Amino acid sequence: MGIDMIIFTVLSAIAIAAALGVILSKNPVNSVLCMITCFVAIAGHYIMLNAQFLFVVHLIVYTGAIMVLFLFVLMMMNLNADIEPQKRNWLKYAGAISGGALLLVLVAALRDASLPAIQGGGNTEIGLVENLGKTLFTSYVVPFELSSVLFLSAMVGAVVIGKK
């Protein structure tokens, strides 16, 4: 058992514990904080795979921007648990069934997936900024540009809604 394995185990334990915390804690603010912890642990996994760019973008976008917005919205809301309406039973069953279906799909998809980065011991260079940039702007330039148009339209949409 090398030091890689120890770090991997610790990070995975933190990620799973935090993910459980997200759904199990009663206070929504604690849920958000658990989710942030989970994201940081997953970012740790990325750096174990030498995917430095993905690691830092994950931190900037998810923990630095999206979760701040979550926290913002939650803090503005009235978090009084007593006046919160109770969820109906059928809603709980529907949630459990759809969640289980998603798990099934994920397991089925990942069962045969080849994960060369993991099997190669995490020494790939593809996650470094230079290689990733070259790949994005040569092999995958069309999807890349298309998704940037998509983002632009989302931004314009947000401005239009904000102007109303």
Tokens of 52: 């430095």
- Binding status of residue 2 toward another protein by CB under 8 A: yes
- Binding status of residue 35 toward another protein by CB under 8 A: no
- Binding status of residue 52 toward another protein by CB under 8 A: yes
- Binding status of residue 31 toward another protein by CB under 8 A: no
- Binding status of residue 162 toward another protein by CB under 8 A: no
- Binding status of residue 124 toward another protein by CB under 8 A: no
Considering the complex, state which of residue 3 and residue 161 has its C-beta at the smaller distance from another protein: 3
Considering the complex, state which of residue 11 and residue 127 has its C-beta at the smaller distance from another protein: 127
Helix segments in 49-140, DSSP class H: 52-58, 67-76, 89-111, 116-119, 129-138
Considering the complex, state which of residue 100 and residue 157 has its C-beta at the smaller distance from another protein: 157
Q: Please, what's the b/e burial string for 86-101 (b: 16 or more CB within 10 A of its CB; e: otherwise)? A: eeeeeeeeeeeeeeee
- Tell me if 55 sits within 8 A of 36, measured CB to CB: no
C-alpha to C-alpha distances, 139 to 24, 97, 117, nearest whole angstrom: 43, 39, 19
Considering the complex, state which of residue 10 and residue 114 has its C-beta at the smaller distance from another protein: 10
- Binding status of residue 63 toward another protein by CB under 8 A: yes
Q: Judged by CB under 8 A, how many residues of this single chain contact another protein?
A: 24
In the complex, least distance from residue 145 CB atom to another protein, rounded to whole angstroms: 16
- Binding status of residue 65 toward another protein by CB under 8 A: yes
- Tell me if 63 sits within 8 A of 44, measured CB to CB: no
Q: How far apart are CA 16 and CA 18, in angstroms?
A: 5
- Looking up tokens 């394995």 gives 5
For another protein, the binding residues (CB under 8 A) are 1-3, 29, 33, 36, 52-53, 55-57, 59-60, 63-65, 68, 71-72, 75-76, 128-130
